[in-house]
């Protein structure tokens, strides 16, 4: 989830790049960099100083006498996925000769094999990024006499994964070659002078905001299309070299709307980014032999196979993701698994030793309660692993190992896409543990991983029903109290649905395991009470429906999350939130989506700012 920009023309290219990068900072700011072509040479500047990266990059560029004269350049702002957020890993990444530079957004899946092959051919690796293979492959092709565009096409035929990339080389002044697969790429042409004596600029960016105000003549590149940009012109071809017409983009957004991808707020945008967050988190994790590639894990297979007990520590939505993982780890790996609210963990004298695995789950990697719980665990010599969305966060640095979700930056205070990404990352970890403990043959792991890979499309289907969910939510504008019920993995979904409603709609919402209702809370059910139940076909569906009958018979209005076409469930509901079905242990990823949308639309109907709910902070660094 990085931002990329490129420009070639007579205008102030350096300024176009820096201004574009500033508008792309919401996509990450671990580092920023540019590569500029001036006088047949390539000049690169990079800074990796976190929130100051762009400011520091500007100082370097301003101090460089040639930078202002550049006519062609590419730039990048990084959200680290492979490799630490250091200057070495900042883009543009260069080849061995320093004459080719690439910026890239996405993940190259087969980078391990390609890195090994390139190393044996004598290429020297200068970064830990997956991106670097791209530039060395281009370098090899150029050495055979290929043009830049031919070299890029040949390279892209060798790589698997996702990319939006732009390449420049010293040998072809004025040219940028760019391409995409899955990750978006927008092309723009700006007019030259009216007499046509000066060609205009040709521009590219990963996102529309970077080009707004420069031109309204925009095109979107399709998957596996390659574009050659020269001042004022573009030529689009397929990977096979066939010329094609790119699709015109009609954009009527202002800058603020564009940053939110046309959504009214970041939360709405992030809810819709969930399919992508899931596929990025899963990308390249399964190896052809049916084992898992968890490079950042840093805890050896031997240590993990010695583990005889698992503790999960987390707060809020991350706790709910951890609760789903408890079911998955116990079922697949048959390892006893406890879960704790992180702020309680170290005050209860947990019994841990060197064979205990403690998993901290934290989007930010900075939440003090979770950090302290992990520190406590390390004192007992437990192996500590963190699931984090932020590369090199405090937890990632202190833990023995880390598994990154790749959801990209989440701006809205309410967790959405990072929550879903946490669940799938934890489920991959559960499968890995199951294999290491001899509980799951590779064929079964491969099949379940296939189901995980199917989730992005199913989440997309769940999102397609947004209008229906919004209409249902608005029928409850007058309701102040809600009960959310679920059983088995539906229970964490109920908790998450209730939390979303509390934090952004400011409505009282109790999340309960449905079987617990009759031990007290059912006293609160009376005509008019609203009960939201997770009633998809997971293991305890029949028991769940028994609990639904209990509240219906006491006059509650019942809203049920049900699998498509399940009329038995729908018959017991006043309102139905339909979702597609999947393996029961993976279902929370889909089932929670209508509950996010329910809270989101109800909060907006109440006129609340969903991105910045009152009294809350995105990262909680006080106990
Ligand atoms: O950064 P973390 O995942 O450690 O944050 C934990 C909670 O503060 C967080 O999940 C919070 O509950 C959500 N923002 C709620 O939507």
Question: What does the pLDDT look like over 104-138, one tens digit per residue?
Answer: 998 898 999 999 999 999 999 999 999 999 999 99
CA of 367 from ligand 1 middle (Å) equals: 8
Q: Which one is predicted more confidently, 100 or 106?
A: 100
CB-ligand 1 contact for 316 (6 Å cutoff):
yes
C-beta atoms surrounding 330 within 10 Å: 14
Residues of the chain with CATH 3.60.20.10: 3-252
Q: Mean of the pLDDT values across residues 340-351?
A: 92
For ligand 1, what atom is nearest to the CA of residue 419?
10
Rounded distance between C-alpha atoms, residue 38 and residue 69, angstroms = 7
Q: What is the DSSP letter of 583?
A: -
Rounded distance between C-alpha atoms, residue 36 and residue 200, angstroms = 18
Asked if residue 480 lies in contact with residue 372, where contact means CB atoms within 8 angstroms, the answer is no
pTM here is 0.81
Distances in Å between the Cα of 223 and the Cα atoms of 97, 162, 246, 424 are: 30, 10, 11, 25
Q: Which of 598, 614, 524, 520 is nearest to 559 (CA)?
A: 598
CA of 314 from ligand 1 middle (Å) equals: 8
CB-ligand 1 contact for 415 (6 Å cutoff):
yes
Find residue 562's DSSP bridge partners: 578
> Which of the listed residues 363, 592, 622 should we mutate to test ligand 1's pocket, taking the one with most ligand atoms within 8 A of CB?
363
CB-ligand 1 contact for 156 (6 Å cutoff):
no
- Domain spanning 3-252 has what CATH number? 3.60.20.10
Scan for tokens 């030259």, then name that residue.
192
- Phi, psi (5° rounding) for residue 167? -130, 140
Q: What is the pLDDT of residue 294?
A: 87
Find residue 341's DSSP bridge partners: 314
Highest mean pLDDT among 176-185, 252-261, 275-284, 490-499: 490-499
Q: Whose CA is nearest to atom 7 of ligand 1?
A: 316
Sign of CA dihedral 423, 425, 428, 432: negative
Rounded distance between C-alpha atoms, residue 84 and residue 602, angstroms = 40
C-beta atoms surrounding 182 within 10 Å: 17
Q: What is the DSSP letter of 125?
A: P
- Phi, psi (5° rounding) for residue 419? -65, -45
CA of 510 from ligand 1 middle (Å) equals: 18
Q: Which of 195, 212, 204, 193 is nearest to 234 (CA)?
A: 204
Residues of the chain with CATH 3.40.50.10490: 269-453, 461-605
Confidence of residue 81 (pLDDT cuts 50, 70, 90): confident
CATH class of the region 269-453: alpha beta
User: Does residue 193 register a pLDDT over 70?
Assistant: no
Q: Pairing between strand 337-341 and 309-314?
A: parallel
Q: What is the DSSP letter of 124?
A: P
- Per-residue pLDDT tens over the stretch 422-461: 999 999 999 999 999 999 999 999 999 999 999 999 999 9
User: Does residue 196 register a pLDDT over 70?
Assistant: no
CA of 108 from ligand 1 middle (Å) equals: 29
- Per-residue pLDDT tens over the stretch 290-341: 889 887 888 999 999 999 999 999 999 999 999 999 999 999 999 999 999 9
Q: What is the DSSP letter of 62?
A: H
For ligand 1, what atom is nearest to the CA of residue 413?
14
CB-ligand 1 contact for 407 (6 Å cutoff):
no
Rounded distance between C-alpha atoms, residue 56 and residue 226, angstroms = 32
CATH class of the region 461-605: alpha beta
CB-ligand 1 contact for 189 (6 Å cutoff):
no
CA of 415 from ligand 1 middle (Å) equals: 6
Confidence of residue 271 (pLDDT cuts 50, 70, 90): very high
Rounded distance between C-alpha atoms, residue 368 and residue 360, angstroms = 11
Q: State yes or no: is 618 an active-site residue.
A: yes
Radius of gyration of the chain (CA): 26
Q: Which one is predicted more confidently, 456 or 183?
A: 456
Q: Active-site residue among 12, 96, 502, 618?
A: 618
User: Does residue 623 register a pLDDT over 80?
Assistant: no
Between the two ends of the chain, the Cα-to-Cα distance in Å is 31
Q: State yes or no: is 309 an active-site residue.
A: no
- Per-residue pLDDT tens over the stretch 21-71: 998 887 778 899 999 987 778 999 999 998 889 999 999 988 776 665 668
> Which of the listed residues 315, 404, 411, 610 should we mutate to test ligand 1's pocket, taking the one with most ligand atoms within 8 A of CB?
315
Longest dimension (CA), the chain: 82
Asked if residue 225 lies in contact with residue 236, where contact means CB atoms within 8 angstroms, the answer is yes
Q: Mean of the pLDDT values across residues 253-269?
A: 84
Q: What is the pLDDT of residue 453?
A: 96
Confidence of residue 391 (pLDDT cuts 50, 70, 90): confident
CA-based angle 313:27:137, to the nearest 5?
Answer: 100
Q: Whose CA is nearest to atom 9 of ligand 1?
A: 316
CA of 422 from ligand 1 middle (Å) equals: 11
- Per-residue pLDDT tens over the stretch 358-382: 999 999 998 989 999 999 999 999 9
CB-ligand 1 contact for 363 (6 Å cutoff):
yes
Polymer length of the chain: 623
Q: Active-site residue among 2, 269, 315, 500?
A: 2
Rounded distance between C-alpha atoms, residue 496 and residue 595, angstroms = 8
Alpha helices in 159-307 (DSSP H): 255-259, 266-272, 274-282, 301-306
Q: Mean of the pLDDT values across residues 398-407?
A: 93
Q: What is the DSSP string of 5-31?
A: EEEESSS-HHHHHHHHHHHTGGG--SE
- Per-residue pLDDT tens over the stretch 558-593: 999 999 999 999 999 999 999 999 999 999 999 999
Sign of CA dihedral 20, 23, 27, 28: positive
Q: What is the mean pLDDT of the chain?
A: 92
Rounded distance between C-alpha atoms, residue 115 and residue 427, angstroms = 28
CB-ligand 1 contact for 367 (6 Å cutoff):
yes
**Element (H or E) spanning 374, and its range?**
helix 368-379
- Per-residue pLDDT tens over the stretch 197-251: 666 889 999 988 888 888 888 898 989 999 999 998 999 999 999 999 998 887 7
CB-ligand 1 contact for 596 (6 Å cutoff):
no
User: Does residue 184 register a pLDDT over 70?
Assistant: yes
Rounded distance between C-alpha atoms, residue 308 and residue 321, angstroms = 21
């Amino acid at each position: 989830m990085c931002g990329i920009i490129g420009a070639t023309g007579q205008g102030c290219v350096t300024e176009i790049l820096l201004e574009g990068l500033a508008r792309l900072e919401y996509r990450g700011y671990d580092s920023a960099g540019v590569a500029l072509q001036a006088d047949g040479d390539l000049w690169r500047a990079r800074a990796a100083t976190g929130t100051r990266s762009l400011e520091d990059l500007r100082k370097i560029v301003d101090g460089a006498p040639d930078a202002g004269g550049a006519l062609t350049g590419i730039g990048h702002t990084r959200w680290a996925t492979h490799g630490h957020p250091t200057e070495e890993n900042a883009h543009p990444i260069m080849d061995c000769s320093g004459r080719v530079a690439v910026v890239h957004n996405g993940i190259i899946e087969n980078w391990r094999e390609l890195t090994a092959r390139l190393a044996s051919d004598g290429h020297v690796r200068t970064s830990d990024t997956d991106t670097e293979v791209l530039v060395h492959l281009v370098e090899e092709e150029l050495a055979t006499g290929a043009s830049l565009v031919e070299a890029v096409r040949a390279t892209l035929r060798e790589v698997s994964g996702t990319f939006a990339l732009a390449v420049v080389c010293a040998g072809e002044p004025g040219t940028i070659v760019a391409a995409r697969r899955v990750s978006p790429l927008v092309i723009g042409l700006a007019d030259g002078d009216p007499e046509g004596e000066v060609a205009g600029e040709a521009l590219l960016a990963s996102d529309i905001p970077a080009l707004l105000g420069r031109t309204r003549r925009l095109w979107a590149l399709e998957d596996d299309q390659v574009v050659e940009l020269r001042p004022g012109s573009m030529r689009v071809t397929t990977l096979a070299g066939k010329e094609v017409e790119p699709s015109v983009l009609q954009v009527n957004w202002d800058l603020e709307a564009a940053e939110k991808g046309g959504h009214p707020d970041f939360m709405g945008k992030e809810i819709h980014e969930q399919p992508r967050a899931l596929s990025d988190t899963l990308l390249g994790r399964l190896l052809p032999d049916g084992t898992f590639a968890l490079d950042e894990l840093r805890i050896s297979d031997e240590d993990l196979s010695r583990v005889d007990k698992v503790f999960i520590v987390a707060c809020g939505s991350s706790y709910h993701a951890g609760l789903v993982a408890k079911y998955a780890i116990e079922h697949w790996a048959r390892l006893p698994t406890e879960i704790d609210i992180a702020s309680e963990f170290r005050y209860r004298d947990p019994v841990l030793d060197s064979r205990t695995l403690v998993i901290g789950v934290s989007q930010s990697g900075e939440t003090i309660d979770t950090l302290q719980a992990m520190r406590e665990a390390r004192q007992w010599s437990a192996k500590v692993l963190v699931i984090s969305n932020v590369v090199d966060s405090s937890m990632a640095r202190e833990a023995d190992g880390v598994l990154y979700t790749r959801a990209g930056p989440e701006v809205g205070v309410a967790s959405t896409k990072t929550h879903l990404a946490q669940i799938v990352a934890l489920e991959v970890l559960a499968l890995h543990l199951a294999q290491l403990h001899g509980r799951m043959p590779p064929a079964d792991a491969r099949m379940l991983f296939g189901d995980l890979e199917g989730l992005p499309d199913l989440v997309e289907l769940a999102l397609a029903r947004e209008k229906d969910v919004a209409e249902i939510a608005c029928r409850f504008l007058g309701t102040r109290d809600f009960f959310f019920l679920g059983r088995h993995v539906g229970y964490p979904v109920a908790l998450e649905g209730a939390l979303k409603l509390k934090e952004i709609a400011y409505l009282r919402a109790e999340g309960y395991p449905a079987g617990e209702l009759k031990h007290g809370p059912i006293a609160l059910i009376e005509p008019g009470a609203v009960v939201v139940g997770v009633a998809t076909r997971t293991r305890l569906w029949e028991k769940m429906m028994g609990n639904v009958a209990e509240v219906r018979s006491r006059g509650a209005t019942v809203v049920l999350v049900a699998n498509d076409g399940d009329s038995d469930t729908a018959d017991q509901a006043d309102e139905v939130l339909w979702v597609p079905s999947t393996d029961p242990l993976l279902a929370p990823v889909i089932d929670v989506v209508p509950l996010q949308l329910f809270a989101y639309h109800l909060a907006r109907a109440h006129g609340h700012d969903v991105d910045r709910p009152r009294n809350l902070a995105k990262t909680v660094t006080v106990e």
